[in-house]
Amino acid sequence: MNTQPHPIQTVTLAFTGASGMPYGIRLLECLLQSGKTVWLLYSQAAQVVAQQEANLALPSSPAACQALLCEKYGVSAQQLRVFGKDEWFAPPASGTNPADAMIICPASMGVVAAVAHGTSDHLIERAADVCLKERRPLVVVPREAPLSALHLENLLALARLGAVILPPSPGFYHHPQSVADLVDFVVARILDQLRIPHTLMPKWGEK
C-alpha cells in the first residue's frame, strides 16, 4: 500500500489585508522557483498593504497583475495565474478542480473568521472552503497582535477543521542578520508543512 503523501504541484496562494506582505511575496517567489504552479488570489486591502509594506503596486485587474508578476519572476502564464475575487468560474472555486494545497499569507482576522464560519463572500474564502471540504492542506498564516478571545476561537475552529495555523513567529537560533533572514525563517516553515524542498536555511541538526 502506498502511504506516501500526494506531491504538491499546484498551490493556491492568497494575499489578504493583514500586515506581513513580505512573507507572502517571498513565499510566491520560492514557490515559483521550486517549479510549482501558483494560483494567486488577493483582496483589495492586500493591494494597499503590498504598496505600503513592499512598495509593490498590485494592479486591480487580475490580467494586468498576472502579466506584471510573470515578467517580474520570469515565469509563464501557465505557471502563475491570477484570479479576481469574483471569478467564480476559476478552478479553485470548485471541488472538481482544486489546487493540491492552499496558503493564506498573510491572513487577516476577517478572512480567518469568514473561513472558520463558512461565509464565502469572495474567491479567497471559497477557495479555502473548498480545501477544507476536499481534505486538501490549508495553511493559515495569521498576522495580528494581540489576539482577542474571538480571534483565538476562530483560529481554533480552523485547526479543528484540519487547517494548519502557522503564525509568522521567526526563531532566532539561526542567528539572523537581517529582516530577510527572519522572513525566510517563516517561509521555510510554511514550505516544510507542504513538504516542498528548499534551501532557505539548514535543517535543525545540520550545518
Global pTM value: 0.95
**3-class DSSP state for residue 173?**
coil
Q: Which residues contribute to the annotated binding site for dimethylallyl phosphate?
A: 173, 189
Q: Which residues contribute to the annotated binding site for FMN?
A: 17-19, 43, 143
Mean pLDDT rounded to a whole number for the chain? 95
If you ran DSSP here, which 8-state letter would residue 118 be given? T
* Multiple choice CATH, 12-193, 3.40.50.1950, 3.40.1400.10, 3.40.50.280, 1.10.150.120: 3.40.50.1950
Helix residue spans in 118-178 (DSSP H)? 123-133, 149-160
Rg (CA), the chain: 16
The pLDDT of residue 5:
61
The pLDDT of residue 204:
85
Q: Which residues contribute to the annotated binding site?
A: 17-19, 43, 143, 173, 189
Closest C-alpha among 43, 42, 46, 57 to residue 21: 46
Give the list of residues 6+ apart from residue 177 with CB closer than 8 angstroms, or none: none
